Amino acid sequence: MTTIRIIVTLKPGVLDAQGQAVQQGLRALGYESVGGVRVGKCIELAVPDEMPPETLDAMCERFLANPLIEEWRVERDEDGEEKSRSRVPAFPRSREVR
């Protein structure tokens, strides 16, 4: 089995209201230089090693994305190792309210 990541984003020119909201939030927090924020989704699948790219595209076109307004790209882990790892930041505990 191979891990596949399908990244779905809105096509250029389609209004990305979530992206605009995130950009405004980041700027409100002082990250003024951030721009061009786009929000999408990442779908991770375990598929047989021999699954052809045409099958993955068909899954996206028929179910995982809306081809009228969204585009997608497929990332395949050929070597079985993750290309990137997510990191959850450690936040200090909040003080108890008394």
Instruction: Determine the pLDDT at residue 19.
Output: 97
What's the number of domains the chain is made of?
A: 1
pLDDT tens, residue by residue, 74-93: 998 766 554 554 454 555 55
Give mean pLDDT, residues 27-47: 95
Q: For position 61, which CATH number holds?
A: 3.30.1280.10
88 in any annotated domain: no
Q: In what order do the strands lie in the sheet with 2-10?
A: 41-47, 2-10, 70-76
95 in any annotated domain: no
Instruction: Determine the pLDDT at residue 32.
Output: 95
Domain limits for position 64: 2-76
Residues whose CB is less than 8 angstroms from the CB of residue 41 and which lie 6 or more positions away in sequence, other chains included: 7, 8
28 in any annotated domain: yes
pLDDT tens, residue by residue, 3-35: 999 999 999 999 999 999 999 999 999 999 999
